[in-house]
Amino acid sequence: MPDLSVIKSCFLSCLLVLLQTWSSQQDEQSQLLLVSFDGFRWDYVNRVPTPNFRALIDEGVQVEQVENTYITKTYPNHYTLVTGLHAETHGIVANEMYDPIHNRSFSMEGPEVYNAWWWEEAVPLWVTNQKAGRKSGAAMWPGSDVAIGGTYPTHFLSYNASMPFEARVEKLIDWFLGPEAINFGVLYWEEPDESGHNLGPESPLMDVVIADIDDKLGFLRGKLKNAGLYDKVNLIVTSDHGMTQLSHDKIIELDTYVSRDLYTWIDKSPVVGILPKEGKLEEVYSSLKNANPNMVVYKKEEIPEHYHYRHNVRIMPLIIEVKEGWTVMQNRNGSFMLGNHGYNNSLPSMQPVFVARGPAFRRDYTKASMRSVDLYPLMCNILGLKPLPNNGSLSNVQDLLVETSTPKPVVPPKPREPSYAWAVGSILGAALVIGFLFIFVQQQPAWSLEFKSDRYPRYRAKAEYTKSNMGKDATVEKGRAIIKIIAD
Ligand SMILES: *[C@@H]1O[C@H](CO)[C@@H](O)[C@H](O)[C@H]1NC(C)=O
Ligand SMILES: *[C@@H]1O[C@H](CO)[C@@H](O)[C@H](O)[C@H]1NC(C)=O
Ligand SMILES: *[C@@H]1O[C@H](CO)[C@@H](O)[C@H](O)[C@H]1NC(C)=O
Ligand SMILES: *[C@@H]1O[C@H](CO)[C@@H](O)[C@H](O)[C@H]1NC(C)=O
Ligand SMILES: *[C@@H]1O[C@H](CO)[C@@H](O)[C@H](O)[C@H]1NC(C)=O
Ligand SMILES: [Zn+2]
C-alpha cells in the first residue's frame, strides 16, 4: 500500500513546479514603462549635464529627431503616442475643441475631458493590452482616467496636478510588483512644459528646471533598481512636443482685421481654430487672408497635406497658423506667455526628446530620426500585441530593437566626454549661470525670479527681467515654476 504522505508530497511538489513554471512565464511577459515629461524639447539633454538621461542613452538608444504630429499640442500628441494615429484620425485634434455635429465643446481644463465619447475614435494601447488578458497601469497620462470604450486602465490615478512625481513613480512600482501585476505602465509629468511657458525656453532658469527633470529621472531609475525591475522593464522616456521662445514684439491682434461678431474662436495660439458665424466664412477668410505676413489662414481643405490635419469635423472650417515665435490674440488684453508650442511639426523646436533602454533595446545606439506615430507599432512589438490599424511603421524603427537589429548607417556617435569634464562643466556652468544672473539682477530690475535646485543646493539666484511690463515674481521650486504676479 503506497504511503499517502509520499503521494501528498509528490502532488505538492508537482503543484509547486507547475506554479513556478506558470509564474516564470508571467515573468517573461515583456514589461514596458512609457514616460512623458511634458514639453521636454529634444535638445534639452545637451543644455546642462543630464547624467541620468546620459546613462539611458549609453545603456540603450536615443533618437535625435522625433517628428511629432500636427498640431504640436499636449492632448493631440499624447494620444498619438498611445494610438499611432495622426490627430485627424484619433479625434483629439486640439486641447480646445468643438464638435459641430454634437454641439459640444472640449477643454483640456474642463469636465468634458471625462466624457469618453471624445476619445472613442481610437483605442489606446493600455486598453488593447488589457483585451489581451494583461494588466495596465496609468499615472495621469492624458485620457488615462477616462473609461474609453467602457474600459479604465487596470490601475490608474485620477488626474491631480498636485500629486508629486515621486508619488506617481511609487504607485507605478507597486503596480508592476502586483497583486494584479501590470506589464505596461504610462507615467506623465507636467514639467518642463509649465516652466517653459512661464519663463520661455531661452531663460537661463530653464537650466535648473531641466537639471531637476534629470534628478527626477534619477529617482525613477533608483526606484526601478531597488525593486529589481531595472533590467526587466523596457523604459521609454519621451515627450509630446518642444517649446519655442515668444516675444512681446511678435503679437498679432485679430481684432485689427476682423470683427469678433463674425466668428467664434475655438482653439488658441499659435494654431487658431476659427468657426465663422453662419454664412460668414468667406468674409472672415478674405479679411484674414493677406492681413499679416506672419500668419497664414487656411480653409480646411487648403491645410497642407503633410500635416494630416483635415479629415475630422472637430477641425474648424478656418485655421490660422502663425510663424514660429509669434502669438495670436484678439487684442493685447489676452494672456501672453514667454514660451509656446503648437507650430509646424517639422520645426526642430517643436520636437521632443526620445531615449529608451531595457532588454528589448540595443545598447549605445543613436538613430537620427523617427516619427512619433512609429512608437505605437514599436511598443506593440515589445509587448507582443497585434497593433490596431495605425499611421506608424515598425520597419522605420525596428533597428532600435535587439533581435532584429541590422547594421545600418548610424550617425557618428558624439565623442563622449570623460566624467571629470562633466563635473568641471557643471561647476563652470553653474558658476556662469549664477554669475550671469547676479549681473542681470544688478543691471535690469523689473520683474524677478528666484530659484533653487537640488543639484546646486548652495546657490540661491535671483533674476530680474526688464523687457516685460507685467511685474512678475517667480520661484522655481523643484522644477515647478510658481509665478506670483505682484504689483510693479
Ligand atoms: C448648442 O449648445 C449650447 C449650449 O451649450 C446652446 O446654447 C445652443 O443653443 C446649442 N445650439 C444648437 C444649434 O443646438
Ligand atoms: C492631490 O494630491 C495632493 C498631494 O498628494 C493631495 O494632498 C490631495 O488630497 C489630492 N487631491 C485629491 C482631490 O485627491
Ligand atoms: C483692455 O482691458 C481694459 C481694462 O479691462 C479696457 O479698459 C481696455 O479697453 C481693453 N482694451 C482693449 C483693446 O480691449
Ligand atoms: C513646415 O516646415 C517644413 C520644414 O521647414 C516646411 O517644408 C513646410 O513648408 C512647413 N509647412 C508649412 C505649412 O509651413
Ligand atoms: C492613418 O491610419 C488610419 C487607420 O489605418 C487610416 O484610416 C488613415 O487614412 C491613415 N492616415 C494617413 C494619413 O495615412
Ligand atoms: Zn504638452
| Peptide linkage before 359 cis (omega within 30 of 0) | no
Site residues for ligand 4, CB cut-off 6 Å: 304, 344, 346
Answer whether 333 contacts ligand 3 (Cβ < 6 A). yes
Answer whether 103 contacts ligand 3 (Cβ < 6 A). no
From the CA of 389, the nearest ligand is 5
- Is 216 a residue whose pLDDT tops 70? yes
Share of the chain above pLDDT 90, in %: 75
Q: Which of 260, 333, 469 to mutate to test the pocket of ligand 3 (most atoms within 8 A of CB)?
A: 333
pLDDT digits (tens, 9 = 90+) for 273-291: 999 999 999 999 999 999 9
pLDDT score at 3? 54
Ligand 2 atom index nearest CA of 160: 1
Cα–Cα distance measured from residue 177 to residue 182, given in angstroms and rounded to the nearest whole number: 8
Q: Does 264 or 19 have the greater pLDDT score?
A: 264
Distance 171 CA to ligand 6 centre (A): 22
Closest residue to atom 3 of ligand 4, CA basis: 346
pLDDT digits (tens, 9 = 90+) for 120-162: 999 999 999 999 999 999 999 999 999 999 999 999 999 999 9
In the chain, how long is the greatest CA-to-CA distance?
Answer: 102
From the CA of 330, the nearest ligand is 3
What are the b/e assignments for 195-222, b being 16+ CB within 10 Å? Answer: bbbbbbbebbbbbbbbbbbbbbbbebbe
pLDDT score at 141? 98
Full-model pTM = 0.82
Answer whether 391 contacts ligand 5 (Cβ < 6 A). yes
- The 3 state secondary structure assigned to the chain is CCCHHHHHHHHHHHHHHHHHHHHHHHHHCCEEEEEEECCCEHHHHHCCCCHHHHHHHHHCEEEEEEECCCCCCHHHHHHHHCCCCCHHHHCCCCCEEEECCCCEEEECCCHHHHCHHHHCCCCCHHHHHHHCCCCEEEECCCCCCCCECCECCCEEECCCCCCCHHHHHHHHHHHHHCCCCCCEEEEEECCCHHHHHHHCCCCCHHHHHHHHHHHHHHHHHHHHHHCCCCCCEEEEEECCCCCEECCCCCEEEHHHCCCHHHEEECCCCCEEEEEECCCCHHHHHHHHHCCCCCEEEEEHHHCCHHHCCCCCCCCCCEEEEECCCCEEECCCCCCCCCEECCCCCCCHHHCECEEEECCCECCCEEEEEEEHHHHHHHHHHHHCCCCCCCCCCHHHCHHHECCCCCCCCCCCCCCCCCHHHHHHHHHHHHHHHHHHHHHHHHHCCCEEEEECCCCCCCCCEEEEECCCCCCEEEEEECCEEEEEECCC
Weakest mean pLDDT among 42-56, 192-206, 424-438: 424-438
Cα–Cα distance measured from residue 372 to residue 143, given in angstroms and rounded to the nearest whole number: 18
Weakest mean pLDDT among 37-41, 415-419, 481-485: 481-485
Residue 80 is a catalytic residue: no
At 370, the amino acid letter reads: M
- Is 477 a residue whose pLDDT tops 50? no
Contact 433, 207 (CB under 8 A): yes
Closest CA to 426 of 37, 64, 51: 51
Ligand 3 atom index nearest CA of 333: 1
Bridge partners for 97 per DSSP: 106
Q: What is the mean pLDDT of residues 335-361?
A: 97
Distance 333 CA to ligand 3 centre (A): 6
Q: Which of 140, 157, 158, 160 to mutate to test the pocket of ligand 2 (most atoms within 8 A of CB)?
A: 160
Confidence of residue 178 (pLDDT cuts 50, 70, 90): confident
Distance 304 CA to ligand 4 centre (A): 9
All structural domains of the chain: 4-22+412-487 (no CATH), 38-244+346-400 (3.40.720.10), 251-336 (3.30.1360.180)
Answer whether 83 contacts ligand 5 (Cβ < 6 A). no
Cα–Cα distance measured from residue 167 to residue 148, given in angstroms and rounded to the nearest whole number: 25
- Is 271 a residue whose pLDDT tops 90? yes
Instruction: Provide the CB-side half-sphere exposure for 480 (13 A, CA).
Output: 9
Weakest mean pLDDT among 36-40, 55-59, 462-466: 462-466
Catalytic hit among 50, 69, 72, 74: 74
Contact 73, 341 (CB under 8 A): yes
- Reading the block at residue 199, the C-alpha cell is 519663463
Answer whether 331 contacts ligand 3 (Cβ < 6 A). yes
Q: Does 357 or 469 have the greater pLDDT score?
A: 357
